[in-house]
Structure 1
Amino acid sequence: MKAFLYESQNARVKFGVGFLKEVGNELKELGGKRALVIATPEQRELANEVATLLGDLCAGIYTEAIQHVPRESIGQSMHVVQELQIDSFVPVGGGSSIGLAKALALETSFPILAIPTTYAGSEMTPVWGITENGQKKTGKNMIVKPKTVIYDPNLTVTLPPSLTVTSGMNAIAHCAEGLYAENANPVISIMAEEGIRAVSSCLPRILENPEDMDARSEALYGTWMGGTVLGSVGMALHHKLCHVLGGNYKLQHSETHTVILPYAIWYNSTYAPEAMARIARAIGSEVDDVAGAIFDLSKSLGVAVSLKEIGMKKEDLDEAAVIATRNPYYNPRPIDGSAIRSLLEYAFIGERPVQGRTL
């Protein structure tokens, strides 16, 4: 066995149907007395419900969270934090709400109690991302990692089918890249494989029966695995490409992850054989067709499988390839500019990765 380093990260997780009602007790455990509930405009009703459950512990509601956390949105919300004398944050929703809470925690060091309603997994990580001047910058700081996470499968029932699928594929992406991370280790690899198995197997069941709480619980369980992987080890090419495409071209976050994932795996397939074997086992595919099988899964679930479908312009592909290769993340296969440009071309068209052939 290869030598490795494993570091555990403290986290309190309450997982179960109906656990939203515990939010007040959990905030008290963190010492929060004047919480700001954070959400997107679409989650305003749920934000109000959480505020009601918190009662006197809620000092205000902010429902203007925006995806990719633009720098200007942080300044606007910091005025609210100061005016209301906030001492803690309760983001409700997906990566936009939790991302804004993290940015505010980076400024204030106030604790976060996260209530996720999607399968993105940001709630389990110390990773923050802020978009400024058209560039998305990311970093790690334990201050921004939520101290407590409440997973209540009831909260995912109203998630639109397309977002259910794409945020689930986002969770799978965290797991897949964790398997070939520079600092991968046996413990996290077990969690990554289990996360892929859980999410990939339950997404079709959720679409077939949106009221299937066992399937929704399984999806959140896989999300927890994926988020833990994302927060424990480094990411690689897939995440770099998604940060570039989302931050620079304003593509929707989870849709971008869904489109790019099979092509990033295709790019790395022959350079990470152990990771490919684990992914294949988790999704029940042939080892030399892992990328194609993930593409097929997305397509079978009725979501976009090309950059063109989600708003990317063909004339921007050259620039995107240059930006993505300028300051590359670690990746098992060396980053080659022409190969990355080819990857983006395939992803733009939405052509299925070729079985048994390297990109």
Structure 2
Amino acid sequence: MDPLQQVADELVESGSELGLQVAVHRDGVPVADVAAGIGPDALVHTYSMGKALTAAVVHVLVHHGAFGYDTPLAALWPAFGQQGKGAVTIRHVLTHSAGVPAVPPQTRPEDLCDWDGMCERLAAAEPWWPAGERTGYHGLAYGFLAGEAVRRAAGAPVSQVLREYVAAPLGLEEELWFGLPPDRHHRLAALVDGFDNAPPDGAPVLAITPRAVLPTAAFGNRPDILAADIPSGGTMTARAAARLYGALLDGSLIPPEQLAEIAAVAVAGTDAVFGNPARWGLGYAIGRPGSDAADSFGMAGAGGSWGWVDLPTRTAVAVVKNRLSPDFATASTIAAMI
């Protein structure tokens, strides 16, 4: 039996995982596509692992000349320049250094489904710090900042741009999603809480994410949330995520010189929201499960899903799961095998 399949089966049989997909591409060639507990075609909402899709859309638009990394966000979205935010650039958004890490404290799930309303609130927000002064994780806010830049530059919602510029060219129209249409919801592997993910009062996450929109199973299973454009997270299969990362490596989406810029450490320091050491390339965290190696990059999602690239071996990996866990033990186990 394939060792990855054996490990996936054991994780599900032991109860550590409920449903699991693992996909690996090397030099643009799929070398593993494993599933246990759920089918390989099942779609999983992966929370912030979906930021990798948002970043890919931005990079493709930069490649096509729609804007540059140093284009001020307010040049595309004039209202965003309020409250002294005129210096915020696309680069600042990608490196979580724009200074707008939080959505308003009263935000409800229904508010996240109102694209124009969320953008109006973020445009009016007072920044926590001047652009580029520090980095701090922009959770839900990230998707609206990057997504509105995309919408204004491309003249279409970010979900449509994802489909036309990224998913369709890679043959992944049915496997990479923001705004999952209701008629595709039957393909979802429902999220299940695997731990008590209700943080205590005063927890750093609550400074940027109100309790009503924390990444729980109930929130991620809501039909309205799944169907809305909220590109701070995404819905996908592992094989599609691995193919996306592989396309960054093999030149299918962007040229090699752009990959080098994306993969380099752009910002490093202490995260101003959570207090952890942080290193960002352009739209991706530097490192991989179990390692902070500077020759790898990717994005993890609340609950334990993770996709990443290992540059020396030109390997792209995605681990997607539907049981939300407090850590990344499964992703680390998979990473150690590859």
TM-score scaled by structure 1?
A: 0.26
Q: Which has the higher contact order (CA 8 A, sep 6+)?
A: 2
| Structure with a larger share of its residues in strand | 2
| Structure with a larger share of its residues in helix | 1
Greater Rg by CA: 1
